[in-house]
Amino acid sequence: MNRRNSMNKLPIGIQYFNRLREENYVYVDKTQHIHTMLNVGTFLFLSRPRRFGKSLLLTTLREIFRGNKSLFQGLWIEDKIDWQPRPVILINFNDVSYRTKSLAQGLTEYMDELAAEHGIVLSEGDYKDKFRELIRCLATARKVVLLVDEYDKPITDLLENDQKVEEHVNTLKDFYSVLKSSAGEQLFFTLITGVSKYGKLSIFSELNNLLDVTLDRRFVTLLGYTQG
């Protein structure tokens, strides 16, 4: 555990690594586990229950790949990597609207929002083509890092509605098929997280290079607190 002083606050409900570090919250140093994970594969899948720290893991990875070394002062990884920045796409399905509109429309709008954050205006028309275009636009100098938070939320939120679940499974399968296209060759590292594995086989059926590290003993303590 990293302690800057004895008065550090517990980061209850905080999922943004930069805020946690900048506002002097307690951080349990997971960066050695993260470094190990970065060296086991390039397309990874991780399932954990909600409130286990998946979002914090992804925002930590975002800051690592953005090259924000100052946020990692005193942590294990500080002197272990070159800190050269890469473009990062963080897709958070908590931010995608699909209750009052179709998931396809929600993803289409969300791709435009993500592009705008990078100063890009997408010209393609639908979510799948926009996703592919976004990856290609960002990969002009260095390959892209893709992080997906709560990949299955549009499914698990609507389990009582079989029709919607089927519709969302089909949309997500189409969306993730981009990773198997030529755009996928522009990805340096990909981590997809969620709470379930039941949708994994159908949604990611075309991604035969997706490595599931959910039960990998090396990452048992990757997330959350453990008794010292």
**pLDDT tens track of the chain, all 228 residues?**
454 444 677 767 778 889 989 888 888 899 999 999 999 999 999 999 887 889 999 999 999 999 999 999 999 999 999 999 999 999 999 999 998 899 999 999 999 999 999 999 999 999 999 999 999 999 998 999 999 999 999 999 998 999 999 999 999 999 999 998 888 899 999 999 998 875 555 787 767 778 999 999 998 888 876 655
Per the listing, tokens 């919250």 go with: 25
| Residue 4, pLDDT score | 46
Indicate the angle between helix axes 103-117 and 162-176, nearest 10 degrees.
40
- Residue 136, amino acid: R
DSSP secondary structure string for all residues of 68-127? -GGGGTTSGGGGTS------EEEEEGGG---SSS-HHHHHHHHHHHHHHHTT-----SSH
How many helices (H) and strands (E) would you count in the chain? 8, 5
Q: What distance in Å separates the CA atoms of residue 83 and residue 66, rounded to the nearest whole number?
A: 8
Q: What distance in Å separates the CA atoms of residue 13 and residue 196, rounded to the nearest whole number?
A: 21
Query: Judging by DSSP bridges, how do beta strands 211-212 and 187-194 pair with one another?
Result: unpaired
The reported pTM is 0.90
Sheet architecture: strand order including 211-212: 88-92, 144-149, 187-194, 43-47, 211-212
- Residue 191, amino acid: L
Burial class of residue 148 in the structure, from the number of CB atoms within 10 Å of its CB (0-12 exposed, 13-18 middle, 19+ buried): buried
Helix (H) or strand (E) holding 137: helix 127-138
| Residue 10, pLDDT score | 73
Per the listing, tokens 């499974």 go with: 169
